[in-house]
Copies of this chain bind each other. A is one copy, B any other.
Amino acid sequence: MEHRGVAAAALICILGFFEASKLRTVEGNGAPRAQLSSILDVNGDWHVHAGDNGGFIEMEIIGELEKVDVKIWPMPVEVVLGEKPLYLDGHTFKFEVANLPSVPDTLAKAFVRYHAIIFSLHAQHSGSSSPALTKLIVTLGSQNEELQYGVDESYMLDVRDSSDSNVAYLEALTVYGALRGLETFSQLTSYNFTSKSVQIRRTPCFIKDFPRFPYRGLLIDTSRHYQPVTSIKRVLDSMAYSKLNVLHWHIVDEQSFPIEIPSYPLLWNGAYSYAERYTMDDAREIVEYARLRGINVMPELDVPGHAASWGVGYPELWPTSKCIEPLDVSSNFTFDVINGIIEDFRTVFPFKFAHLGGDEVDTGCWERTSHIQNWLNVRNITAKDAYADFVVRAQDIAIKHGYVPVNWEETFHTFSSRLKKETVVHNWFQSGTCAQAVKKGFSCILSDQSSWYLDHLDATWDKFYETEPFSNIENKDEQDLMLGGEVCMWGETADESNILQTIWPRAAAAAERLWSTLEYTKVGHTQAVSRFQHFRCLLNRREIPAAPIFYGSRFAYGRSSPYGPGSCFKQ
């Protein structure tokens, strides 16, 4: 990838240059007040905060806006910034592709989205302000639009000083790198209330960026509560804003089976209701919507333990009508159905990985069911052996259909020697599992429940930020087996009405850990506070209801309401 020769050496290299936290606590006479960080706005001459304090009004003149830098989340690998503003006229500004006969569909659609994101926050003045940026020209290394695990997401962004050029450049090897660059470009822009136009406040600006980990995931759970297709699409929109790239779709569980399976058409009788279902075409639409945002979708079948809803349509999958999970291990029909589901999934989900669950299996039901106990006796195996057999047989089916299987960590802890060597171990239950798994040569995904479970509302954002995938993994070969990590939005108490504010902003803290350099993030959450507040407000402006970061003087729990009146940038 050619660097277009911006005179970077003449500018300040600011890896690690963004403001260290300048947290200070402001206490009124009454209740504790929110911690105030340095002011976050990228432009302006003044800032005033008027607070309500026990019925009396206290005016705090915070004074001159501090010269803070452009806020980008997650932090890019390298940023160089000048001091001159550039304006963008929404009526004339264009995105273009430089080196291809036609604009790839993925980019053409992204251009429309990012134009709207950049110019829709405030009414635009019709005249143009100068100096103006007229174009962002995208140069791609490849026209291939296939999205797969490990696709190159690197990019370089080069916004010149206006005396040099009124054109900016974005270079990427793939359309997916270009998407990441467009997101960063959009975060460079802000609204200037004097010129009434959009600006990039500090040019020249040069950014070089690429992700630390190839797997940066978010789990959603559509079994405990159905999420409308529209809701899943908004989750995908929001993921792109913090450069997450895998939607782990925990589609079915014991409570409901919302998806159509053409091979076994009665399965979705296990949905909560007639309306709370996804057709195969809905799933295809979700996968394509995700792809257009550079996001892979990993489907999950959580077998054999979390599967009671399967038997609504096919009761023979249940050991008995009173003991309905784990699925009947003694019946070939069980595996026929798993095969049918995975075969159908293969027509919808092109991702490298399929998740097969395997967690929280209570084999007591098998032991209490006479035909299964007989089956165990004939084979002279224990219920625990049967659990391993079940998981491995499901893995074989997934592999046959071209998937690499992912399993929750219990399978690793219980029978690691029987797992297929390509198995990806998915940590959730105990810290340190990934260190054990990679030592045995397995790949691993980190989702430590103590810090990366979004339904744990008391896991505050600093915990999400400080969780390190390389914790206790120092060997380079073992580090290479860490695919990345994933935050989990289990759905027991999350439906369409609160999923987004339960996910955000905390998921973004993990997203930075997974994207930005360890050199930057290891310094810890403190240096990121004001930039994180800024990103939360950016999400709010983009209609993503990210919850407050502070609640009074402490970090807020998940989906907290604001503590009291105040600025978005301080709450």
Contacts and interface: CB of A to CB of B under 8 A. Distances in A.
A493 B270 contact: no
A214 B231 CA distance: 34
A269 interface: yes
Contacts of A234: 543
Interface residues of A, number: 88
Interface in A468-523: 491-498, 500-501
Contact of A545 (B40, B125, B308, B498): B498
Contacts of A285: 123
A376 to B, nearest CB: 22
B255 A44 contact: no
A127 interface: no
A234 B120 CA distance: 13
A308 B559 CA distance: 31
A459 to B, nearest CB: 16
A192 to B, nearest CB: 10
B225 A255 contact: no
Contact of A496 (B193, B226, B545): B545
Interface in A251-299: 254-256, 260, 269-279, 281-282, 284-285
Nearest to A40: B273
A225 B562 contact: yes
A41 interface: yes
B49 A272 contact: yes
B123 A57 contact: no
B569 A273 contact: yes
How many identical subunits does the complex contain? 2
A569 B275 contact: yes
B562 A493 contact: yes
A279 B123 CA distance: 8
Interface string A559-571: 1011111111101
Contact of A228 (B43, B48, B223, B540): B540
Contacts of A254: 50, 52, 57
A229 interface: yes
Contact of A564 (B269, B270, B312, B492): B492
Given A57-B254, A59-B324, A565 B224 contact: yes
B563 A281 contact: no
A498 B565 contact: no
Contacts of A24: none
A121 interface: yes
Given A190-B275, A498-B547, A228 B541 contact: yes
Contacts of A561: 493-494, 497-498, 559
Interface in A510-550: 537, 540-543, 545-548
B491 A565 contact: yes
Contacts of A278: 122
Given A541-B230, A547-B498, A273 B39 contact: yes
Interface string A284-324: 11000000000000000000000011011000000000001
A274 B65 CA distance: 9
B545 A273 contact: no
Given A279-B193, A492-B565, A501-B498, A230 B120 contact: yes
Contact of A495 (B43, B57, B308, B540): B540
Contacts of A281: 122-123, 125, 196
B275 A41 contact: yes
Contact of A543 (B230, B276, B325, B501): B230
B121 A567 contact: no
Interface string A72-88: 00000000000000000
A152 to B, nearest CB: 31
A46 interface: yes
11 contacts: A41-B273, A48-B270, A50-B308, A50-B309, A122-B279, A123-B281, A193-B279, A228-B540, A272-B569, A273-B568, A498-B559
Interface of A: 39-41, 43-44, 46-52, 57, 59, 65, 120-123, 125, 190-191, 193, 196, 223-226, 228-231, 234, 254-256, 260, 269-279, 281-282, 284-285, 308-309, 311-312, 324-325, 491-498, 500-501, 537, 540-543, 545-548, 559, 561-569, 571
Given A123-B284, A230-B541, 15 more contacts: A39-B273, A41-B273, A50-B312, A59-B312, A121-B229, A122-B229, A123-B285, A224-B565, A230-B542, A256-B567, A273-B567, A273-B569, A276-B568, A494-B562, A500-B545
